[in-house]
């Protein structure tokens, strides 16, 4: 296998459960060996279906899935050598933790002394080395998920699939486990295909993210590219916090365009994914890219009326009315001297063309 050959490939994969509705509509994805890739999207968008087809528990209605250069359409799930961690793919309750990890090794006929060493190593990796003799019922939810991660890794799978594995954990534990799983991935160099509906989880863990909507990938890119350069309004809205302003395109000049916001004023934006003059577009602008008291180098300067202030420690989340929209969010860093804004105040705000993207309304 050459190094640039993808380790996993979905080639024009479609899936229908009822023979009528496609819940996955022509899915293409190349995953490099050692990559951590996440399928992110709202509930019902087809993420689990794609993962189940890769695991072999569902068959594709159309298209090919390739693993390490071989089509696996006809390979049984247990012959794919894939590790799995699912929220509802529970540990065996009647077995101890160590027995749970021994199980995939026994299935593979590994000699017992080798298997015991592997089990201990896998448990140590998830900081559960001293819990081998406990039963799952004697562990917390977070500890059980650690064991589930260890079980997915114990037989040296080169590919591990995880479907919302942290969904049942509280926020603090979830964030801690995100870093732990990421570190394990970095240390072992396994390929991970991860599913979540939580955008911050996806940003934290992934090399690349495929953003799903209704069976279609809307954008496939690195976390920073998705956040900084969303291709369409769906991705801009789904990843991170976003100000959305709709308006009509009044002129296009190279890479920039002017957009009239319902007669409230004209903004200059990057023309990313738009129609022509006279068409509607959706502007996307991140709350932390809005400046207070902008100087005259700013091409976009507007008046904002403060509607609500929420103190969040490191920043003050400010909701304003701007150009007739009362859901405009500005994040004011706590280190600036704008901390004494009051509800009802009017202030000048501005932003740069490079931080404002005109995206297609139909997306």
Residues that bind ligand ADP (CB under 6 A): 17, 23, 41, 43-49
Using alpha carbons, select from 74, 78, 80, 65 the residue that is nearest to residue 28. Answer: 65
Using alpha carbons, select from 242, 233, 261 the residue that is nearest to residue 355. Answer: 242
CB of 104 to ligand ADP, least distance (A): 24
Question: Among Mg ion, ligand ADP, none, what binds residue 311 when CB lies within 5 to 8 Å by partner kind?
Answer: none
Pick the stretch among 45-53, 93-101, 122-130, 146-154 that binds Mg ion (CB under 5 A): 45-53
User: Cα separation of 196 and 231, whole Å?
Assistant: 21
Pick the stretch among 28-36, 42-50, 56-64, 82-90 that binds Mg ion (CB under 5 A): 42-50
The H or E element containing residue 37 is strand 36-40
If the CB atoms of residues 238 and 302 are measured against Mg ion, the closer one turns out to be: 238
Cβ atoms of 27 and 63 within 8 Å: the answer is: yes
Q: How many residues bind Mg ion (CB under 5 A)?
A: 1
Using alpha carbons, select from 4, 54, 53, 12 the residue that is nearest to residue 33. Answer: 4
If the CB atoms of residues 48 and 219 are measured against Mg ion, the closer one turns out to be: 48
If the CB atoms of residues 199 and 318 are measured against Mg ion, the closer one turns out to be: 199
- Pull the structure tokens for residue 53: 């087809």
CB of 48 to Mg ion, least distance (A): 3
> What is the pairing mode between strands 191-196 and 159-163?
parallel
Question: Among ligand ADP, Mg ion, none, what binds residue 38 when CB lies within 5 to 8 Å by partner kind?
Answer: none
User: Cα separation of 149 and 135, whole Å?
Assistant: 16
Question: Among ligand ADP, Mg ion, none, what binds residue 17 when CB lies within 5 to 8 Å by partner kind?
Answer: ligand ADP
Distances in Å between the Cα of 301 and the Cα atoms of 20, 247, 295, 345, 348 are 51, 16, 9, 16, 7
48 binds Mg ion (CB under 5 A): yes
Question: Among Mg ion, ligand ADP, none, what binds residue 142 when CB lies within 5 to 8 Å by partner kind?
Answer: none
- Pull the structure tokens for residue 124: 């140590």
49 binds Mg ion (CB under 5 A): no
Question: Among Mg ion, ligand ADP, none, what binds residue 49 when CB lies within 5 to 8 Å by partner kind?
Answer: ligand ADP
User: Cα separation of 17 and 23, whole Å?
Assistant: 8
Q: Taking the alpha carbons of 120, 125, 131, 135 in that order, is the dihedral positive or negative?
A: negative
Measured in residues, the chain has a length of: 363
CB of 81 to Mg ion, least distance (A): 23
What string marks each residue from 107 to 146 as x (binds Mg ion by CB under 5 A) or -? ----------------------------------------
If the CB atoms of residues 24 and 31 are measured against ligand ADP, the closer one turns out to be: 24
Cβ atoms of 92 and 106 within 8 Å: the answer is: no
CB of 212 to ligand ADP, least distance (A): 6
CB of 55 to ligand ADP, least distance (A): 12
Any bridge partners for residue 252, and if so which? 257
Q: Which residues bind Mg ion (CB under 5 A)?
A: 48
């Amino acid at each position: 296998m050459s190094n640039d050959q993808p380790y996993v490939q979905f080639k024009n994969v479609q899936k229908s459960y009822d023979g009528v509705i496609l819940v996955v509509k022509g899915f293409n994805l190349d995953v490099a060996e050692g990559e951590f890739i996440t399928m992110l999207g709202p509930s019902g968008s087809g993420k689990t279906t794609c993962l189940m087809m890769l695991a072999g528990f569902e068959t594709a209605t159309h298209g090919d899935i390739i693993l390490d250069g071989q089509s696996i359409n006809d390979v049984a799930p247990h012959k794919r050598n894939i590790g799995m961690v699912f929220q509802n793919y529970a540990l065996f309750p009647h077995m101890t933790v160590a027995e749970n990890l021994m199980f995939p090794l026994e299935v593979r006929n590994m000699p017992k002394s080798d298997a015991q060493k592997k089990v201990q190593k896998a448990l140590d990796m998830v900081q559960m080395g001293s819990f081998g003799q406990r039963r799952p019922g004697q562990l917390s939810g977070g500890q059980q998920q650690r064991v589930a991660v260890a079980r997915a890794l114990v037989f040296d799978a080169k590919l591990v699939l995880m479907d919302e594995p942290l969904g049942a954990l509280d926020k603090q534990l979830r964030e801690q486990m995100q870093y732990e799983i990421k570190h394990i991935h970095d240390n072992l160099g396994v390929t991970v295909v991860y599913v979540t509906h939580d955008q911050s989880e996806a940003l934290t863990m992934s090399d690349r993210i495929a953003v799903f909507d209704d069976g279609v990938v809307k954008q496939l890119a690195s976390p920073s590219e998705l956040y900084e350069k969303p291709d369409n309004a769906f991705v801009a809205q789904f990843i991170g916090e976003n100000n959305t302003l709709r308006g009509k395109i009044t002129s296009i000049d190279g890479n920039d365009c002017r957009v009239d916001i319902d007669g409230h004023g004209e903004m200059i934006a990057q023309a990313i994914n738009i129609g022509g003059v006279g068409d509607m577009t959706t502007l996307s602008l991140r709350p932390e890219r809005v400046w207070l008291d902008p100087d005259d180098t700013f091409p976009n300067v507007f008046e904002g009326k403060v509607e609500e202030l929420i103190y969040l420690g490191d920043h003050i989340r400010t909701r304003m009315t701007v150009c007739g929209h009362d859901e405009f969010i500005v994040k004011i860093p706590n280190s600036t001297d704008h901390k004494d804004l009051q509800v009802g105040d009017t202030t000048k705000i501005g932003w740069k063309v490079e931080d404002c993207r005109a995206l297609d309304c139909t997306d």
